[in-house]
Structure 1
Amino acid sequence: MSSEQREKIIRFYKGTEGAETAVKLVDMAEQVQRSQKFRISGFLDPYGQEIAETIAANYPGIRVDFEGGYPGAERQRAMFIDNTFGGNPGFDIVVIKASWNGQYEHIGHRDVLGALMGQGIERDRIGDILMSGETCRILADDKMGAFLLDNLTQIGRSGVSCELDDLANITPKEERCKEIKATVASLRVDSIAAAGYGSSRSRAASDIAADKLKLNWQPVKSASQSVKEGDVLSMRGRGRLEVVEVRGSTKKGRIGVLLKRYF
């Protein structure tokens, strides 16, 4: 791949939330191309996975596989692998089960993530965090898993005990899906968000201003930003919204859309 093509990819993502990820993944793909072996990334969010797929498509002879530790994982590691490589490398993902006494304090996902970041852990070393009553399961690479076993002793004000768990104990994620047929005044992101999440456009605009809404896993820059078929909106605490189909205009000039909301 020429340096011109490399710069084209990096320039495409420059100024976006994925700029740093794109540089890391391009470097990784080039290392695979030179070594004819494989490289594994840290845990990527869905936008990072999309970047990895774009990069792999631009490097002949390289493919990318993903694994998050269990079926339906949101955060996954990407493996760039040369098509001529004959080995069968693993993703080196483990799961750590943390337990605490919930009688005195409620611990949520944000508390667990805060405790991990407080240890100086970079976010890409951690996969999904799965909450369940007085326990949580933390997906991590194997080296980080060993670190957590020795060092994660407190979340918030609660002491925690950690043990290595089996990935097979994780129940595959089952998402509920609601199909929504609606008409909107325009394909502005605030109109689509209002229709999909059952709110007003002003409420959607407020959510955008508060940085709660993302479009294709990137921050929404403006309430007037346009969406198209295949786009995915996501809002903290309210799930994902997929624009499945744009069906054309009604007699009153509104636009028919088919949306799917995942909980």
Structure 2
Amino acid sequence: MKEGIYQHYRKEEQAFIDYVLEQMAYAASRYCPVTSYFVTPREALIAQQLANGQDEVQLACQGGLPGAERQRLVFYPQYYDLETSDFQIQALKIHFPQKFANIRHGSILGSLLGAGLERNRIGDIITDGQDWQVLVDAKIAPYVCQNVTKMGNVGVRLEYIEPDQVLSPQVLWEDQTVITTSLRLDTMLSKVYNFSRQRAKEAVLGGLVKVNYLEINRPDFELEAGDFVSLRKFGRFQIDAEEGLTRKDNIRLKAKVLVV
């Protein structure tokens, strides 16, 4: 059965497929909800595809705010009345001396990882341009508040906040239609950012590109719907969906590009 599923996905995604199938089986056999760690948009898409057509188990995704990039999955029996608390997400406000210092996404994430947290226990890190908040696994929230007291060289204090206090992030995505001959990583970078494919290739080989938060060094890496691509100093984009072929048999894609 698994081999039939694996053939539709990348080899490096097989471990996640196994994880999802195990969680669905557990929810079905124990008749109880099962909550995942925080997943990437690509992983959420895979989970939705695997859950489609399942009679015994349903899937819901939530990240603690509308349009969250990183979300937790809950697999649950059909009869179960899902509640927000099942996602086990806690929002934390980051207090710091705003008049004298500033913090950035990188310093926040680095401090959390430096405190021993796994990346998949951390959700979105958001700002409205002034204040900063982070979504985390509710089980580790007490540890985070107690042990994370510095971000970079800035002293901080983390505080629990209610869901209705979560910020509306200052992030702007622009819809873009992309016409391309292939879904190769270097080709897509060239199309989205309007520079040569050679320059895109050099960026990939130079370690400047990540796909779904993992550094990829292969210019010929094939992208798929749901993939997040980041290019250092340029920003990020997501392949939203394929929209068929043009008259010249080129691929038409819908992408979301981060406006920076």
- TM-score range (shorter-chain normalised) is 0.7 to 0.9
Tell me the CA shift for residue 31 of structure 1: 0.9
**TM-score for both structures, normalised by structure 1:** 0.79
* Distance (whole Å) between structure 2 residues aligned to residue 219 and residue 118 of structure 1: 20
Percent identical: 23
Contact 1:153 1:160 in 2 (8 A): yes
Contact 1:32 1:81 in 2 (8 A): yes
Aligned residue for 1:101? Answer: 97
Aligned residue for 2:40? Answer: 45
Report 1:41-190 matches (<5 A): 41-57=36-52, 59-85=54-80, 88=83, 90-102=86-98, 105-132=101-128, 135-173=131-169, 175-180=172-177, 188-190=184-186
CA RMSD of aligned residues (A): 3.2
SS of equivalent to 1:69: coil
Cα displacement string for residues 193-215 of structure 1 (whole angstroms, at most 9, x for unaligned residues): 21211221112112222344456
Contact 2:176 2:257 in 1 (8 A): no
Unaligned runs of 5+ in 1: none
Contact 1:95 1:165 in 2 (8 A): yes
Contact 2:40 2:212 in 1 (8 A): no
Unaligned runs of 5+ in 2: none
Aligned-partner residue type, residue 248 of structure 2: S
Aligned-partner residue type, residue 157 of structure 2: S
State the aligned residue count.
252
* Distance (whole Å) between structure 1 residues aligned to residue 103 and residue 196 of structure 2: 32
Bigger CA radius of gyration: 1
Cα displacement string for residues 50-73 of structure 1 (whole angstroms, at most 9, x for unaligned residues): 232233237431111001001010
Contact 2:175 2:255 in 1 (8 A): yes
Contact 1:99 1:134 in 2 (8 A): no
Taking a change above 3 Å as real, the CA distance of residues 177 and 244 of structure 1, as seen in their structure-2 partners, is: farther
**TM-score for both structures, normalised by structure 2:** 0.80
Taking a change above 3 Å as real, the CA distance of residues 24 and 219 of structure 1, as seen in their structure-2 partners, is: same
Aligned residue for 1:248? Answer: 247
Aligned-partner residue type, residue 66 of structure 2: P
Cα displacement string for residues 205-237 of structure 1 (whole angstroms, at most 9, x for unaligned residues): 122223444567776563234567x56452245
Cα displacement string for residues 27-52 of structure 1 (whole angstroms, at most 9, x for unaligned residues): 21111111122101111111221232
